[in-house]
Amino acid sequence: MLFSANIGFLYTELPIPDRIRAAKRDGFDAVECHFPYDVPAAEVKAALEETGLAMLGLNTVPGNTAAGDFGLAALAGREDEARAAVEQAVEYGAAIGAANVHVMAGRTDGGAAAEAAYRATLAHACDLAAMKGMAVLIEPINLRDAKGYHLSRVEHAAEIVEALGRDNLRIMFDCYHTQIMQGDLSLRFLAHREVIGHVQIAAVPDRGEPDGGEICFERLLGGFAEAGWSAPVGAEYKPRGGSTAGGLGWLGPMRAALA
């Protein structure tokens, strides 16, 4: 099993290019990030080329977080902002060779106008990403951590993928969020395997290293591998002790268990 370091949560004491280098040093097979836009794309690309690590994805900007924003794509009336965020992510992602753009939905009332805005923004994102050879990811996020988030169930995400019919639109299957919202991870993964584009892990309920909490990832990911999953799994967790390197005791044993 291959593992990707989510450098939005890991190695945060370092500048982003050095986070990539640290991930390589510590044995990760790829990296992914959240919002790298303050760093020139050339610097990120240079670190990726130096280490040989692939950048699996990045997020669209969340908006005005001080005002409660957590994504823009489903916010009716703010379509121009949402499209600008998509265009920024696709342009930056293409410059660093990222495989995917995660389009963040945002907090909404869950109504028809929000859903229509979301689908229109996603269609635009898919069109732009396709021209760069990239894919678009949508991620169900749990409502405990992100109250009012528009997309919180895997089945809703699958409905959107089917309705839009875009070959480059896929689901980000985050085991932490899905366990909190719905559970039944193995069967839910199998049911939607064909439209899942990325997998992420973290302990539940504390979102720490994946060797603790209520999910046995060795068994869960073993089942995913048996179902044909071979891409790197994203380690998107918040180190319990604050130090990423100090909490990596899980990586070797989990890799060995899944060999």
Positions annotated as catalytic residues are 139, 236
- Using alpha carbons, select from 41, 23, 40, 13 the residue that is nearest to residue 32: 23
Are the C-beta atoms of residues 86 and 101 closer than 8 Å to each other? Answer: yes
H/E element holding 197? strand 196-201
For 37-72, b where at least 16 C-beta lie within 10 A, e where not — what string? Answer: bebebeebbebbeebebbbbbbbbbebeeeeebbbb
Q: Give CA–CA dist 203/256, Å, rounded.
A: 19
Q: Give CA–CA dist 121/111, Å, rounded.
A: 16
Q: Which residue has the tokens 């639109």?
A: 169
Residue positions counted in the chain = 259
Q: Beta-carbon neighbour count of residue 203 at 10 Å?
A: 22
Cα 141–chain centre separation: 10
Q: The tokens of 88 are what?
A: 């920024």
Instruction: Give the DSSP letter of residue 42.
Output: H
Q: Diameter of the chain by CA atoms?
A: 50
Are the C-beta atoms of residues 21 and 47 closer than 8 Å to each other? Answer: yes
